[in-house]
Amino acid sequence: MITYSRSRRPSPGYNAPMTSIIQRLAFVLLAVALASCASAPPTAPEHRPEGQGRVEITMTGFKNAEGQALVAFFLDDSGWPDPDESIFATFTVPISDGRAFAVVEDVPAGPFAVSVFHDEDGDRELGSGALGIPSEAYGFSADARDMFGPPAFEEARLELAAGETKQITIRVK
């Protein structure tokens, strides 16, 4: 096959079919390579639908009104669930009658998750006591809870549609 290219003088039609077959084969291989890349979800960025919505968060279960509720809003697992690592929004909300309420506007449609804790001492850290067990109450969207640490983003994940106002309740404990 390689030697044919040497005799490439006045006979252009001779090499042409082989070239086009090689080009076609290369294209098929490229398509296969691209297809196998697309089916690797851990590295591929997730497609989000167009549009925005609004999320209304009711938080319940606060045992007193000291300090504030620290709310962290995430669109993916990047930084989850650390309030200081949220790329989208982190804010504090006052507590009244064991409850707190927040509205998050202009949220891109698609997956999201929320982490909340009762920052009683106002140090922006989830207090922990003996054996590292949290001493301040906390909770996550979708009622996600894990015995041995924070739940994964996927466990707390909810979906927002474009134009939707979604009301969620997070119970801290």
**Which residue ranges make up the site for Ca ion (CB under 5 A)?**
119, 121, 123, 125, 127
User: By C-beta, is 69 or 160 nearer to Ca ion?
Assistant: 69
Strand partners, 115: 72, 140
Residue 1 to residue 77: CA distance in whole angstroms: 51
The closest of 136, 142, 137, 138 to 159, measured between CA atoms, is: 142
Least Å distance, CB 70 to Ca ion, is 8
User: By C-beta, is 107 or 172 nearer to Ca ion?
Assistant: 172
Cis-peptide, bond into residue 81, ω within 30° of zero: yes
Q: Show the 3-state SS of 56-105.
A: EEEEECCCCCCCEEEEEEECCCCCCCCHHHCCCEEEEECCECCEEEEEEE
User: By C-beta, is 105 or 121 nearer to Ca ion?
Assistant: 121
Least Å distance, CB 79 to Ca ion, is 18
Q: Letter for the amino acid at 37?
A: C
Least Å distance, CB 77 to Ca ion, is 23
User: By C-beta, is 83 or 151 nearer to Ca ion?
Assistant: 83
SS3 for 89? strand
The closest of 148, 119, 146, 153 to 133, measured between CA atoms, is: 148
User: By C-beta, is 81 or 110 nearer to Ca ion?
Assistant: 81
Least Å distance, CB 60 to Ca ion, is 19
Least Å distance, CB 134 to Ca ion, is 9
